[in-house]
Structure 1
Amino acid sequence: MSLILGRVIGDIVDQFTPSVAMDVTYTPDQPVSNGQELMPNLIASKPHVNVGGVDMRSSYTIIMTDPDAPSPSDPYLKEYLHWIVTDIPGTTNATFGTSMTRQTVMPPVSRDHFNTRIFSEQNNLGLPVSGIYFNAQRQNASRRR
């Protein structure tokens, strides 16, 4: 499983069996696949997330973190929280930044040193039902002459 190879399972979450389909796209024609390397200019836009649950009575929470922020060689902010979207009903589409009508989770104290496991335990979220990870390429700074 690529989530194990990418150290998502182990470093970020405990072992789980995916049971809900989830697709993430930053461009309409290319879904994100596990382990894919993406350029920063592409992921600066809001992603589109499709959660394929089968029960409208279920709701989902999506968490996006950077497990080795700010860089793999010096991850002193490890695990950095980028965003959380809550109360996503099953069989629906969600777009980052969509406002939700109710909050079912307690907000984290800080984005720095966020811990997905602890956050999930504190909010009774249980094990993940799906997961996708990608790697962001570093964009070279323009050189001054």
Structure 2
Amino acid sequence: MANANPRSVDPLVVGKVIGDVLDMFVPVVEFTVDYGSKKIANGVEITPSSAAQKPSVHINGSPASPNLYTLIMVDPDAPSPSEPTFREWLHWVVTDIPEGSDASKGREVAEYIGPSPPTGIHRYVFALFRQREAMQVAQKPPESRGNFRTRQFAAANGLGLPVAALYFNSQKQSATNKKR
């Protein structure tokens, strides 16, 4: 992974994550996302087969901290361009993740679905939100994965702005490349 400043939102602005998915925010937490030996850095390319299994997500900080987090993973490029309003495809929601821990210690609200871009390059965004209390976020999955809005979900659950975000790019693999 490049030694990018984790506190910088510049790659998120350039990649249009801020604007399309998230509002401008100040990163205050560091977290890592790994698919096996592949570390996610903003804008890196990951094949769908490399991301088929849920990643390891670790939130840096003190395990003694009372802070809890919600992680949301979406594909903002899934909707048809003919859609009158912008929507995202939901890939994963985990709530009540303790600081200094990983997502496996939280509550999986929407089970992980790996990337499967039908055409073109798709962005897959991980947005991290700090919760004010345990069980703050509804513990039932959203009604539709294909009609999801990160901003709306955060507002409905009192999460405010994200505290960190990362994204990667992925595109459809040919059948011969899937075996690699």
Paired residue secondary structure (2:102): strand
Unpaired segments ≥5 residues, structure 1: none
8 Å contact from structure 2 (residues 27, 163) kept in 1: yes
Change over 3 Å in CA distance of 1:122–1:8 after alignment to 2: same
TM-score (norm 1): 0.84
Alignment of 1:1-145 (within 5 A): 1-27=10-36, 29-54=37-62, 56-69=65-78, 74=81, 78-95=87-104, 100=107, 103-106=135-138, 107=140, 108-141=142-175
Q: Percent identity, aligned pairs only?
A: 45
Unpaired segments ≥5 residues, structure 2: 1-9, 109-133
1:109 CA displacement: 2.4
- For 1:99 and 1:52, the matched residues in 2 are separated by 15
1:141 CA displacement: 4.6
Paired residue secondary structure (1:87): strand
Aligned residues: 137
8 Å contact from structure 1 (residues 65, 81) kept in 2: yes
**Per-residue displacement from partner, 1:26-54 (whole Å, max 9, x unpaired)?**
01x33111001111100001100010134
Greater relative contact order, per chain length (Cα 8 Å cut-off, separation 6+): 1
TM-score (norm 2): 0.68
CA RMSD after TM alignment: 2.4
